[in-house]
Structure 1
Amino acid sequence: MHAPRLFENDESVRRIGEGLLDHSLPKAEWTHEAHIAASFWLVAERPDIDVDAEIAEIISGYNVATGGVNDDANGYHDTITRCFLAGVRAHAMLALGGTLADRVNALLESEAGRRDWPLRFYSRERLFSVEARRGYVEPDLRPLP
């Protein structure tokens, strides 16, 4: 199992989220942990952003701005993103105490923060299909939380 890289403080989490929004986050720092931290920050601290309506555009725009592409094999993956968002939201409802970094780190150390967490809900074939990358598909193993 891969040990997650944890965040030292609230500012390090906010820097990731703000860097995603304004495209200033270096591409090398757009890691799994950064995806989780940015998602948690958006849900917990940015009520002005409709995450469900805007997340595809936010991440796709960041990918392009940092030299990436969003196609059938690379870039934004809608189903994986929305699966992790379900885990982020479930964790946010339970993790009401502590600092922002504490809550993000607890999420990263939980089942929902694991890189392979979506495979609890999706078969590998379904999750990694072009259809799942391009748009949300329902789980085929069990419902999301």
Structure 2
Amino acid sequence: MTDHRPRLFDTDAAVRHVGIGLLKRTLPRPEWTHEAHLAATTWLVVERPDIDLDADLRGIISRYNESVGGVNDATQGYHHTITCCFLTAVRDHVRESEGQGLAQCVNALLMSPRGARDWPLRFYSRERLFSVEARLGWVAPDLAASD
């Protein structure tokens, strides 16, 4: 796995800004970084339990991508398997971080191995993870996790 130095969030409000911007499709495209994906997902898990992320996260991200001129197809935009993988990581991290403030929780996730952009490659070969099948739908991991 790569050594990563993520952009951290100074305040809970900064995390909320990303999450609300995703939902309202007002977040400027340059702010939609890997860190923002994890921050928005953490905010959704913690503060928006009314949203069924298993059913709705694909549409939320896809609609946001389209609103900033992006395309969701077999080669670009929304990636279902990566989203599902990180959603599981966020849920696990939130459960383990109960009692932390929102920014503190997000920053701890970003500094952990689970927060690394290439974290799913612990479970997937590159070929499988970056396949059209994995982008468009869920595919099971083909590698065993090494702890």
- Is TM more than 0.5 here? yes
In structure 2, distance between residues paired with 1:34 and 1:131: 25
Q: Which residue of structure 1 aligns with residue 70 of structure 2?
A: 68
The aligned amino acid for 2:32 is W
What SS class does the counterpart of residue 99 from structure 2 fall into? coil
* Percent pairwise identity: 63
1:83 is the counterpart of 2:97: no
Q: Which residue of structure 2 aligns with residue 55 of structure 1?
A: 57
Deviation at 1:142, TM superposition (A): 2.7
Q: Which residue of structure 1 aligns with residue 107 of structure 2?
A: 105
Q: Which residue of structure 1 aligns with residue 10 of structure 2?
A: 8
Q: Which residue of structure 2 aligns with residue 21 of structure 1?
A: 23
Q: Which residue of structure 1 aligns with residue 136 of structure 2?
A: 134
Deviation at 1:15, TM superposition (A): 0.5
What SS class does the counterpart of residue 75 from structure 1 fall into? coil
Larger RCO of the pair (alpha carbons < 8 Å, separation 6+): 2
Query: Which sections of structure 1, spanning at least 5 residues, go unmatched?
Result: none
Which 4+ stretches in 1 moved above 4 angstroms? none
In structure 1, distance between residues paired with 2:49 and 2:88: 16
In structure 1, distance between residues paired with 2:72 and 2:90: 23
State the aligned residue count: 143
What SS class does the counterpart of residue 76 from structure 1 fall into? coil
Query: Which sections of structure 2, spanning at least 5 residues, go unmatched?
Result: none
Deviation at 1:72, TM superposition (A): 1.0
Q: Which residue of structure 1 aligns with residue 96 of structure 2?
A: 94
In structure 1, distance between residues paired with 2:45 and 2:116: 19
The aligned amino acid for 2:89 is G
Deviation at 1:99, TM superposition (A): 1.0
TM-score normalized with structure 2 length:
0.95
Q: Which residue of structure 2 aligns with residue 46 of structure 1?
A: 48
